[in-house]
């Protein structure tokens, strides 16, 4: 794998990830870009003890551009995009409208209200120059290159001042709010441990105190023994629908040998993952016979706090509840955090096995 890093016209970093034999990449951004605006504000919610990024500049961000107007396509004569080169394999660059950006700064406290600049970093990961493709269309070689880029960025961002957790994810489909159709994912480097990870690690900590074992390990083992919710097993990976699935389509994917994050995956785990991940995405699209809108969320151990308890795993889920209906998060879910799932987890798993490539 070859890395080609350089700076865009407004100072943001861009990195090409290519196979070793790829042609050299253009490293000069010829656009005349205005500097990015102020860093967003990070505010502490005293009631939920969570941090909220207030990023007012994002209101004006690019919204569903056409292929003729797509900032994630390669540049071509007369049309300059975020990627100066006329071709690429995988590209990672800093988001022009970030929710988190910059280096640690002071914290302001006024009674019960605390706030500081929303430092951290938000990156865009372009999976392919083909505007009309999706991740599931990638070759295993290209998927493997994406995995290498994810691992590389996780390692680098984890070593960055002020970053507490690195989140690699893909939002796919307008039904979940995607504003650019070009196949891409994102990486958020947060200045805090996220609420979901914190709650998971609280459970892991309790379970460790009670049993001496890691809860993530015990969940994977229990799903393998039970078997009714298994989606697939490979040499190094296990995918299943969780016992208490919240979404009409949901799959969790764990390496059999627990690691903290993508950077810690060994060669054999990475090689196996490319095929497994593509297979899961294809089954997702086959579930209702439509391109499945999904959120693919790579949970990683925090950079410092309770890192030893964490476990890399993928939680992939969809709001699609039939070929023509969506699940909405209404009062019970959005306001109280209490989920109601219309579909039995065992039935979700059965469908995901039924649509397997044979």
> How far apart are the C-alpha atoms of 35 and 106, rounded to whole Å?
23
Site residues (CB under 8 A) for its own copies, limited to 110-139: 111-113
Question: By rule CB under 8 A, what count of residues binds its own copies?
Answer: 82
Cα-based angle 332, 178, 27 (whole degrees, multiple of 5) = 145
Q: Which of the stretches 65-73, 125-133, 199-207, 276-284 binds its own copies when contact is defined by CB under 8 A?
A: 199-207
The helix (run of H) or strand (run of E) holding residue 197 is helix 195-211
Kindly state the smallest distance separating residue 68's Cβ from its own copies, in Å.
Answer: 22
Per-position x/- string for 245-264, each x denoting binding to its own copies as judged by CB under 8 A, each - no binding: xx------------------
Can residue 140 be called a binding residue for its own copies (CB under 8 A)?
no
Helix (H, G, I), strand (E, B) or coil at 318: strand
- Give exposure, 206-223, as e/b (b: 16+ Cβ within 10 Å): ebeeeeeebbbbebbeeb
Q: Choose, by CB under 8 A, the member of 171, 240, 249, 320 that binds its own copies.
A: 171
* Partners of 12 in the β-ladder: none
Q: Rank residues 74 and 98 by Cβ distance to its own copies and give the closer one.
A: 98
Helix (H, G, I), strand (E, B) or coil at 294: strand
Site residues (CB under 8 A) for its own copies, limited to 12-51: 40-41, 43-51
Can residue 62 be called a binding residue for its own copies (CB under 8 A)?
no
Site residues (CB under 8 A) for its own copies, limited to 66-105: 99
Q: Rank residues 161 and 324 by Cβ distance to its own copies and give the closer one.
A: 324
Tell me which residue of 29, 27, 7 sits closest to 94, measured CA to CA. 7
Can residue 194 be called a binding residue for its own copies (CB under 8 A)?
yes
Can residue 1 be called a binding residue for its own copies (CB under 8 A)?
no
> How far apart are the C-alpha atoms of 95 and 85, rounded to whole Å?
18
Can residue 209 be called a binding residue for its own copies (CB under 8 A)?
no
């Amino acid at each position: 794998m070859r890395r080609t890093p350089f700076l865009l016209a407004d100072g943001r970093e861009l990195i090409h990830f290519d196979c070793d034999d790829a042609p050299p990449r253009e490293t000069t951004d010829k656009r005349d870009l205005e500097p990015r605006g102020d860093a967003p504000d990070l505010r502490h919610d005293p009631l939920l003890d969570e941090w909220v990024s207030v990023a007012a500049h994002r209101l004006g961000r690019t919204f569903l551009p056409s292929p003729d107007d797509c900032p994630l396509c390669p540049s071509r004569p007369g049309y300059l995009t975020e990627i100066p080169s006329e071709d690429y394999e995988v590209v990672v660059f800093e988001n022009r409208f970030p929710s988190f950006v910059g280096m640690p700064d002071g914290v302001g406290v006024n009674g019960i209200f605390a706030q500081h600049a929303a430092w951290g970093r938000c990156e865009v990961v372009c999976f392919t120059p083909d505007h009309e493709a999706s991740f599931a269309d990638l070759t295993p070689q290209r998927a493997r290159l994406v995995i290498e880029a994810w691992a590389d960025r996780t390692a680098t961002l984890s070593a960055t001042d002020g970053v507490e957790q690195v989140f690699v994810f893909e939002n796919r489909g307008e039904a979940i709010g995607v504003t650019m159709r070009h196949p891409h994912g994102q990486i958020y480097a947060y200045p805090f441990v996220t609420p979901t990870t914190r709650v998971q690690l609280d459970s892991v900590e309790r379970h460790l105190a009670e049993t001496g074992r890691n809860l993530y390990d015990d969940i994977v083992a229990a799903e393998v023994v039970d078997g009714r919710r298994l989606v697939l097993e490979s040499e190094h990976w296990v995918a299943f629908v969780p016992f208490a699935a919240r979404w009409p389509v949901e799959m969790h994917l764990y390496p059999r040998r627990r690691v903290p994050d993508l950077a810690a995956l060994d060669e054999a785990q990475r090689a196996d993952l490319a095929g497994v991940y593509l297979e899961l995405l294809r089954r997702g699209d086959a579930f209702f016979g439509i391109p499945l809108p999904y959120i693919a969320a790579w949970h990683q151990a925090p950079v410092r706090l309770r890192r030893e308890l964490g476990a890399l795993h993928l939680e992939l889920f969809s709001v699609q509840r039939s070929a023509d209906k969506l699940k909405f998060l209404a009062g019970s879910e959005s306001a109280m955090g209490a989920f109601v799932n219309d579909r039995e987890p065992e039935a979700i798993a059965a469908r995901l096995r039924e649509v397997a490539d044979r």
